[in-house]
Amino acid sequence: MIDIVALASLCKLAIEGGLEEYKRRKLSEAEKELLIAAAKDGEFQVIHVNEAPDWIRVGRKNFPEDIAGDPAIAAMYEDAFTSLCKRAYIKHDHGILFRLTHTGFQKARQLASKIDKKKANKH
């Protein structure tokens, strides 16, 4: 289960500059997926129900897509989300709601732009 309070504290610590080493690491594919999905609105919801692993919702998209599927995939996205908090790309808003920081929006939109350019070059 994702501890919202601990995650919120982690995001706050990173924003205050306490976790600089994470900013130098290469983004994982799961981190990139989450950022690209949030590039427009910048909102994340951390969802918990007793019957399934926790998951991250960005807009109408769930990470993982199959909520009742492989718990290892759910753990991968949970780890990716936590890492994005450590990078100060995400801040806690309230309750289950998290938002991209300014730096998070910049990175998310940079990644989304690369994807758009690749799609345009294929056509």
Alpha-carbon Rg of the chain, whole angstroms?
Answer: 14
| pLDDT attached to residue 10 | 82
Q: CB under 8 Å to 7, separation ≥6 — which residues?
A: 46, 81, 82, 85, 92, 98
Is the peptide bond between 64 and the residue preceding it cis, with omega within 30 degrees of 0? yes
The residue type of 72 is A
**Distance between CA atoms of 30 and 63, rounded to whole angstroms?**
9
Q: Which residues pair with 97 in a beta bridge?
A: 45, 94
Q: How many whole angstroms separate alpha carbon 3 and alpha carbon 103?
A: 24
Which two three-digit tokens encode residue 64? 């993982």
pTM over cut 0.75: yes
The span from the CA of 38 to the CA of 20, in Å, is 22
Q: What is the pLDDT of residue 15?
A: 74
Per-position pLDDT tens, the chain of length 123? 677 888 888 888 777 775 666 567 789 999 999 999 999 999 999 998 777 778 899 999 999 988 778 889 999 999 999 999 988 999 999 999 999 999 999 999 999 998 877 777 775
What is the chain's percent helix, strand, coil content, to nearest 5?
50, 15, 30
Residue 81 and residue 5 in contact, taking contact as beta carbons nearer than 8 Å: no
Which residues face 47 on adjacent strands? 55
